[in-house]
Structures are given as C-alpha cells and as structure tokens.
Amino acid sequence: MDSIAIMEQLMTSEGRAEPYPLYAQARELGAVTACGEGMIMVTGYQEVNEVLRDGAFQVADAELRSRWEEGFNEHSSKIMLSRSILERNEPDHSRMRSLIASVFTARRIAALEPAVVAATHRLLDEMAGLGADGTPVDFMETFAYRLPVGVICELLGVPEADRHRFRTLAADLTAALEVIAGDPELDAADAAAEELAGYFTGLAAERKARPKDDLVSALVQVAAADPARLSGHELLANLVLLLVAGFETTTNLLGNGLSLLLDHPEALAGLRSGEISPAGYTDEVLRFDSPVQVTSRVSIGNGLRIGGLDAPYGYFAFLLIGAANRDPQRYEHPERFDPTRRDSRPLSFGGGPHYCLGAQLARLESAVAMPALLARFPHLARAGEPVRRDRWVLRGYQSLPLTLGR
Ligand code: HEM
C-alpha cells in the first residue's frame, strides 16, 4: 500500500478501529512521506516533535480552511472551533493562551487533587451500588465520563444540574475535529455547537450579572472590560473548547487505560500493589493508545525540509501522534505495553506553542482514579466486548462493560 491508500484506510471504520497496523505500514515507507498533492504524512517521533515546535509550521486557521476545505463556512461547528485558541496563530494565539493559562497553573491544578479524590470515591460508591448484584455496569457511562466532566465543570463553574447534557453534545461536536466526516455527522456537530454556544451565552450573562470564583466569570469579565483581549465570539468558542477538550480526551484516557489493564493482568496487579507508579502507568497509556491520534500543521516557510522531504509554503502535514508514539527509533519494543518504561514522553499532548493546557489535570485524574478503582473492586472483569467510537482523531470507547465482583 502507498501512503495515499494508507490514509484512505485510516478514514474507514475498519482503519479507525485498528489504526496501528496501518501506522506500521506507513512507517515502512519512511518517517515522512508524500501523500497526495501538497500533503505529507509524518509518522516518526522526532519529525512529529520537530514540526510541532517549529514556528514555520502553523495550525490551519479559518482563513486557510475556508479556502481549502469545501463547505467550511457552512458549518457552525467548524467556524466555532476555528475561533478558539486551538486553531489560532500569532498574535491571537498568545493573546488567548496567556488568558487561559493563567487559570491552568501548576499550583491551581495541584490544589484540585483533594477534590479529584473525593469525586472519584463518590463515583466509585455509585458504581458499587449499580453493580452490587452482579449487574454489568458500563465504565464509560458510570465513571470515565463523569469524573472529568465533573472536574472541568467545577473549574468552569457549570452547575451540577446541567452536566448530564454534555456527553452526547460533546461526542457529536467532535465530528468537526475529524479529518473527514459525513454530512449527517457534521449536521449533528453543528446542532451540538449551536446548543453549547446557546448554553454558554446564558451562563456568561448570569456570571456577568453575578460573578463567582470560577473560570466563566473570569473570562466574562475580561471580555466585557476589553473585547480586543477577548471578543464575545472568542469567549464562547473557548468556553465550549475547554468543556469538550476538558473531558472528552480524559474520558478516553481512563477508558483506554482500563481496557489495557484488563488485557495485561501483570500491569493491573503492579498498579494495584503499588509496584507500578500511577504516573508511569498513565504515561504508558498515553503512549500506547493515545486519546488524540492525529493533528496537523501547514508550512508557512520557504525551503523547509522535514525528514529529508521538501515542505514548501502551503504544504499540509498530517502529524500521526499515534504512530510517532510507537516509533521503534524512539522506543524499545514499542508494541509492548510496559508501564515501567522510563523517559517515555509520548507526544499525546502535542508540543510547542499549542502544548495541551490540560495535560497536568488529565494526568492527575488518571493517576488518582485508576488505582482507586482497582483497590475498590478487586474482582473487576469484562462483561462483554467493549465498543469503540467510530473516530480517528479522538480515540476512545463508547462503552466498556464490566462486572465489579463481590
Ligand atoms: C488525556 C487527555 C488529553 C489529551 C490527550 C489532550 C491532547 C491535546 C493535544 C494533542 C493538544 C494540541 C493539539 C495541537 O497542537 O494541534 C491539546 C491542546 C489543548 N488542550 Fe488538551 N488534551 C487532554 C486533556 C485536556 C484537558 C483536561 C483540558 C482542559 C482542561 C485540555 C485543554 C486543551 C486546550 C485549551 C488546548 C489548546 C492549547 C493551545 O492551542 O494553545 N486538554 N490537547
């Protein structure tokens, strides 16, 4: 298969379900390969890392995408995401990043640990109640979704009563982040974007009138005081992004991680006994089955080369994070799930100027939740086949049924 055929396979349901054999084939063609007119596919760890950190490669912003992507301007979901920090370049990116980063400080996130521990135990109690008589429970629904949505909603200041709406809305919206999505999926993404924007418009108005000690209030005040620092559209786009980025990926980190533990009993025993550190386990899940599989950049430089290939102005680079994380040049036995690895540094949170603002929070949630889950249910087992979401960019499970044991 050539790189174009591999790319096409990755866009099918079968390819999305099992991308790793396709990545291995792509790697055999080279760490960087041409994959169609003006496009390159990057699978090497070093090369993906380099592109992410090189200012001569930028994110594809609204201006570029409206020229390239058919129908871009007809999709409110795509337009909304393109107004958020994720899809902006300088100087707008730094302007928004400094505002949002001031909330996601290492100190503030570390201070959340007791709240994450308390929320974990509350959810485990509820799970225990649901599965007490041997009834299977779905880990994704009862835990993996609820913990991160609860944590990010606390940070944002979204009232508890409203949180149940977000699982489906966020799942629908993520179609807009996929490389290719069908019309029905994009229609659902647009409807979700509009509903979420409507929701945050209401919440922002409430917080403007009666501010609280939360992120929505803080950003609303900035936008009201100086729209040049954050416009009304940007406020909404970033609130929706923070909500969705704040739990969708972390939900998948928890689900992908538990599934790996159930397939690797020694790792499960090691994490349960304390022999394997929760941080090492989390890093290895991120490396081995990353919740974000791919991102992209556009070359804005002249004479750029990457991995021995030309990447002139306007070239589009698909950065296959999931492949880079299994690059044999970087990792010994990359196909082995080994939570005792040292110096892993997977690229799952990206790198360079757009490095994930929630990385520390996501790591904290996994490191707290997974050992607590194993301690609480010593006889945890699968209760049937898990079902994957049909997505490439954001990789995770729709359902992961379990029995909790005695
Ligand atoms: C396991 C969980 C997570 C993964 C794998 C993940 C992954 C990523 C990746 C790969 C990027 C960079 C995309 C690019 O460069 O194209 C990113 C950016 C971002 N993430 Fe995360 N993320 C996770 C959790 C979170 C959480 C919990 C939050 C918020 C609380 C968050 C907020 C953000 C934001 C705001 C950005 C944009 C940063 C920028 O553009 O400057 N993420 N994330």
pLDDT, one tens digit per residue, over 355-378 is: 999 999 999 999 999 999 999 999
> Closest residue (by CA) to atom 24 of ligand 1?
358
Q: Which of 78-92, 167-181, 325-339, 388-402 has the lowest mean pLDDT?
A: 167-181
- Taking residues 375-399, what's their average pLDDT? 96
Spacing, Cα 349 to ligand 1 middle (Å): 6
pLDDT at 300 over 90: yes
* 8 A C-beta contact, residue 320 and residue 26: yes
User: Is the per-residue pLDDT at 22 higher than 70?
Assistant: yes
- pLDDT digit string, tens, across residues 328-340: 999 999 999 999 9
pLDDT at 196: 96
What Rg do the C-alpha atoms of the chain give, in angstroms? 21
Q: Is the pLDDT at 380 greater than 90, yes or no?
A: yes
Using CA positions, which residue lies closest to atom 19 of ligand 1? 356
pLDDT of residue 178: 84
Looking at residue 177, its pLDDT comes to 87
pLDDT digits (tens, 9 = 90+) for 269-299: 999 999 999 999 999 999 999 999 999 999 9
The rounded Å distance from CA 50 to ligand 1 centre is: 18
Domains in the chain, please, with CATH? 3-403 (1.10.630.10)
Atom of ligand 1 lying closest to residue 87 CA: 40
Task: Give yes or no for residue 85 having a pLDDT over 90.
Answer: yes
Structure-token pair, residue 317: 């680079």
What does the pLDDT read at residue 406? Answer: 67
Q: Specify the residue with its C-alpha closest to ligand 1, atom 39.
A: 354
Mean pLDDT of the chain: 95
State the amino acid at position 47 in one-letter form: E
Tell me the average pLDDT across 170-177.
90
- Distance from residue 208's CA to the centre of ligand 1 (Å): 27
Q: Atom 37, ligand 1: which residue's CA is nearest?
A: 86
Residue identifier of the C-alpha nearest atom 21 of ligand 1:
356
pLDDT score for 284 = 98
Give residues (CB < 6 A) around ligand 1. Answer: 85-86, 97, 152, 241-242, 245-246, 249-250, 253, 291-292, 295, 348-350, 354, 356-358, 361-362
Q: Which pLDDT value is given to residue 103?
A: 81
Give the per-residue pLDDT at 102: 85
Q: How far is the CA of 355 from the centre of ligand 1 (A)?
A: 7
% pLDDT > 70, the chain: 100
Give the closest residue to 241 by CA, choosing from 145, 183, 190, 173: 173
Q: Whose CA is nearest to atom 12 of ligand 1?
A: 350
Give per-residue pLDDT as tens, 182-236: 889 999 999 999 999 999 999 999 999 999 999 999 999 999 999 999 999 999 9
Which of 356, 364, 393 should be mutated for ligand 1, with most atoms under 8 A from CB? 356
Cβ atoms of 114 and 372 within 8 Å: the answer is no
Tell me the CA distances in angstroms from 23 to 96, 263, 314, one per residue in order.
34, 22, 25
Percent of the chain with pLDDT over 90: 89
Distance 100 CA to ligand 1 centre (A): 12
| H, E, C per residue of the chain | CCHHHHHHHHCCHHHHHCHHHHHHHHHHHCCEEECCCCEEEECCHHHHHHHHHCCCEECCCHHHHHHHCCCHHHCHHHHHHHCCHHHCCCCHHHHHHHHHHCCCCHHHHHCCHHHHHHHHHHHHHHHHHHHCCCCCEEHHHHHHCHHHHHHHHHHHCCCHHHHHHHHHHHHHHHHHHCCCCCHHHHHHHHHHHHHHHHHHHHHHHHHHHCCCCCHHHHHHHHHHHCCCCCCHHHHHHHHHHHHHHHHHHHHHHHHHHHHHHHHCHHHHHHHHHCCCCHHHHHHHHHHHCCCECEEEEEECCCCCEECCEECCCCCEEEEEHHHHCCCCCCCCCCCCCCCCCCCCCCCCCCCHHHCCCCHHHHHHHHHHHHHHHHHHCCCCEECCCCEECCCCCECCEEECEEECCC
pLDDT band at 179 (very low <50, low <70, confident <90, very high): confident
Q: Is the pLDDT of residue 37 over 70?
A: yes
Distance CA 65, CA 61 (A): 6
